[in-house]
Amino acid sequence: MTNSPDPAPRHRFASDMVSRVRAAAAPVRHSLAVSLSALGDHAQAALVRCFDNGYDPDASDGQSRRAEEGIAVRNLSARYGERFAFEGLTGEFAPASLTAVAGPNGAGKSSLLKALAGIIRPAAGEVTCAALARHRLAYLPQQDELDRGFPITVAELVALGDWRNFGAVREPGQRLAADVEEALAAVGLSSVTDRQIAELSVGQFQRALFARLLLQDADVILLDEPFASLDESTTEDLLRFLQRWQGEGRTVVAVLHDLDQVRKYFPATLLLARSPIAWGGTSLSLSADNLARAQEALDPSQDARIGWVA
Amino acid sequence: MGRVSGNILGLLIGPFESFGFMRIALVACFALALANGPIGILLLMRRESLNGNVLSHAVMPGAAIGFLYAGYSLAALTIGGLLTGLAVAALAALSAGSRWQRQDSSLIAFYLVSLSFGVLIVAARSSQADLMHVLFGTVLAVDVKALLLIASISSVTMLVVAALYRPLAVESFDPAFLRAVGGGGGVFRAIFITLVVLNLVAGFQAFGTLLAIGPMLLPAAAARCWTNKVWSMIALATIFGMAAALAGLLISYYANLPSGPAIVIGAGAIYGVSLLAAGRIRLKPRSLRGQR
């Protein structure tokens, strides 16, 4: 039985090994990047479409060029099996708007966001969103949809936001570390840069995801219950980002359940209860009459009947 | 002292010195461990161990049909296994996102049925011994041709993982994000599943359809106990896989036991020790352990 060695050299040995393995993999990556660029135009386009579609360093040359883009939907429906998640939605999330999507549980709010983000295929109708095609759309799922046990540090998580500048195989740029630091400082997480995400609290994790959104610099930002189970000060901080993004000309859509919050911060609201109840200015959309109709549309007796299918 | 250590060295190296089949088995297991390290870790990261298990049984009917037509022909077994494995992977990819895919019960049903189907096919033509061969493999019967196949699959796997490591890792963590930034989405899932099937087919010869997933998952699960960094995990899993292969082969040689199960038990023992060690080290949650 030997004494366990001093942790410092052991750690150095481990990181040494890692960097060696990295160094060994680097030529492979490099040659892939080189062969990508050496291929004929046609073949290269096809390969890039498959493997490295997100590499687009020109996408964010200067904020001034931000194309103010909204999302238009026409007769949009999505379903799970037999049951419609939502149906018959027509309208537009205007460019540079800040819209809340509200409604009772099971109203199809999350499904709508997924359909807008292109994650689920609509059962009918269509979504028109130029930002989606250009990969300038960011989607933040509900927290429990992400694997918090994944071994990745906060800095690494945030750095992923810069994907368009390194893509699948390229070396990250020089500025990345500084950008990550800046984004983490903006969300107030500078002290936990090198922690594993598993060690963060729910609020800290959401802040980290917002830092990734900052780096992602998308034109359209979709957020699913971004403030669920967060404390008040975190919610306040993050709400400020939503307003800032709208001010910068981005289109922001957030699913929310806190109606007071919606009334206070969101100019426009879509009230959804499987079919659209109201879509427009918040005070009009959230009138007592509309809220009652939304409840009625999903009344308990009907829920009970559907319950056994789900 | 010198004599004792000399003897021990002799015990450890002797079998490989004397017998070509032991050498080939060892090299085959090392080659498998090299590829199984990254693949096993990625499987664990994706929380798809169950899918891996199902895939390993999906290889069975195809390999059995190949066996039926051509006997112990490496090519027939490999092509058969590869075809059914990829067919099932394609089915799974097509149904991705549908509710069916998430139901464990249908996966279990699938693997039981394909296993039984494979057993029936083999039993229809041949003896108990053949059945044992298909189910549990025979590391010691690996010949040079099979070794070349295993080594090629292992090399291809390592090259692909090295080149596409970033999207493979990100896709397992946050697929919606990867799709949003245009990083490819389904392509990487398809590539990864193909790699899994390839490695299962490589392991099939040595470990049989029931155990092929063992050398893939057990060292990976053990490595997960020791570190939080994916690269070190992969390196550890590879080392564990090699150690288990060496120990298992020696045990099977001296105790005259079947070598495939001995190797898997070796890997299981490493996992057990790792669990115990990790439990002792992590009595306190990491966040409370003297950070700063």
- Reported as a pLDDT band with limits 50, 70 and 90, residue B35 is very high
Q: Determine how many CB atoms are found less than 10 A away from the CB of residue B17.
A: 9
The yes-or-no verdict on residue A199 having pLDDT over 60 is: yes
Residue A102: which residues within 8 A CB-CB, separation 6 or more?
A109, A255, A256, A257, A259, A262, A269, A270, A271, A272, A285, A286
> From CA B31, how far away is CA A56, in angstroms rounded?
38
In this complex, is the C-beta atom of A193 within 8 Å of any C-beta atom belonging to chain B? no
- Using a CB-CB cut-off of 8 Å, the residues of chain A touching B37 are none
Please indicate whether residue B252 or residue B137 has the higher confidence score (pLDDT): B252
Q: Do A119 and B176 touch (CB under 8 A)?
A: yes
pLDDT tens string A117-135: 888 888 888 888 877 777 8
- Using a CB-CB cut-off of 8 Å, the residues of chain B touching A18 are 229, 231-232, 235
**For residue A1, what pLDDT is reported?**
41
Q: Are A85 and A79 in contact (CB under 8 A)?
A: yes
CA B137 centroid distance within chain: 13
- Reported as a pLDDT band with limits 50, 70 and 90, residue A60 is low
**For residue A96, what pLDDT is reported?**
86
Residue B208: which residues within 8 A CB-CB, separation 6 or more?
B133, B134, B135, B136, B137, B138, B260
pLDDT tens string B231-288: 889 999 999 999 999 999 999 988 888 888 999 999 999 999 998 887 655 544 454 4
Q: Do A163 and B187 touch (CB under 8 A)?
A: no
* ipTM of the predicted assembly exceeds 0.95: no
Q: Edge to edge, what strands does the sheet with A275-281 contain?
A: A137-140, A220-224, A251-255, A98-102, A268-273, A275-281
pLDDT above 70 covers a percentage of chain A that reads: 82
Angle at B96 between CA B95 and CA B97, to 5 degrees: 110
Tell me the CA end-to-end span of chain B in Å, nearest whole number: 46
Q: Do A56 and B182 touch (CB under 8 A)?
A: yes
What residues are paired with A124 via a beta bridge? A77
Please indicate whether residue B7 or residue B184 has the higher confidence score (pLDDT): B7
Q: Which range has the top average pLDDT, A171-185, B51-65, B181-195? A: A171-185
Domains and CATH numbers, chain A: 67-135+258-310 (3.40.50.300)
**For residue B291, what pLDDT is reported?**
39
Residue in B177, B169, B184, B171 with CA at minimum distance from that of residue A49: B184
CB-neighbour burial class of residue A172 (10 A; exposed 0-12, middle 13-18, buried 19+) = middle
Give me the residue spans of the domains in chain B.
Answer: 19-280
**For residue A149, what pLDDT is reported?**
80
Among chain B residues, CA nearest to A29:
B163
Average pLDDT over chain B reads 81
Which two structure tokens, joined as six digits, stand for A227? 């403030």
> From CA A38, how far away is CA A35, in angstroms rounded?
5
Q: Are B57 and B114 in contact (CB under 8 A)?
A: yes
The yes-or-no verdict on residue A286 having pLDDT over 80 is: yes
Residue from the list B173, B232, B287 with its beta carbon closest to the beta carbon of A14: B232
> From CA A123, how far away is CA A84, in angstroms rounded?
9
Q: Which range among A40-44, A94-98, A291-295, B51-55 shows the weakest confidence by mean pLDDT? A: A40-44
Q: Are B212 and B137 in contact (CB under 8 A)?
A: yes
Which two structure tokens, joined as six digits, stand for A15? 């990181």
The yes-or-no verdict on residue A5 having pLDDT over 80 is: no
The yes-or-no verdict on residue A63 having pLDDT over 60 is: no
**For residue B238, what pLDDT is reported?**
95
Q: Which range among A31-40, A208-217, B113-122, B166-175 shows the weakest confidence by mean pLDDT? A: A31-40
- Reported as a pLDDT band with limits 50, 70 and 90, residue B31 is very high
- Reported as a pLDDT band with limits 50, 70 and 90, residue B4 is low
Among chain A residues, CA nearest to B44:
A150
CATH 1.10.1520.10 fits B19-280, yes or no: no
In this complex, is the C-beta atom of A13 within 8 Å of any C-beta atom belonging to chain B? no
**For residue B102, what pLDDT is reported?**
55
How far does the CA of residue A28 sit from the closest CA of chain B (Å)?
6
Mean pLDDT of B24-53: 87
**For residue B283, what pLDDT is reported?**
45
Backbone Cα Rg of chain A? 22
- Using a CB-CB cut-off of 8 Å, the residues of chain A touching B164 are 51, 168-169
Q: Which range has the top average pLDDT, A27-41, A234-248, B28-42, B158-172? A: B28-42
**For residue A59, what pLDDT is reported?**
61
Which two structure tokens, joined as six digits, stand for A171? 């070396």
Mean pLDDT of B14-38: 89
pTM above 0.95, yes or no: no
Q: What are the backbone dihedrals phi and psi of residue A84, each rounded to the nearest 5 degrees, phi first?
A: -75, 130
DSSP per-residue string spanning A68-109: ---EEEEEEEEEETTEEEEEEEEEEE-TT-EEEEE-STTSSH
Please indicate whether residue B81 or residue B290 has the higher confidence score (pLDDT): B81
Mean pLDDT of A223-242: 88
The amino acid at residue B245 is A
pLDDT tens string B79-102: 888 888 888 777 766 665 554 455
> From CA B110, how far away is CA B123, in angstroms rounded?
20
Residue from the list B173, B183, B287 with its beta carbon closest to the beta carbon of A152: B173
The yes-or-no verdict on residue A112 having pLDDT over 70 is: yes
Which two structure tokens, joined as six digits, stand for A294? 């939304």
Q: Where are the beta strands (DSSP E) in chain A?
A: 71-80, 83-93, 98-102, 124-128, 137-140, 220-224, 251-255, 268-273, 275-281
- Reported as a pLDDT band with limits 50, 70 and 90, residue A309 is very low
**For residue A308, what pLDDT is reported?**
40
Q: How many secondary structure helices (H) and strands (E) does chain B include?
A: 12, 0
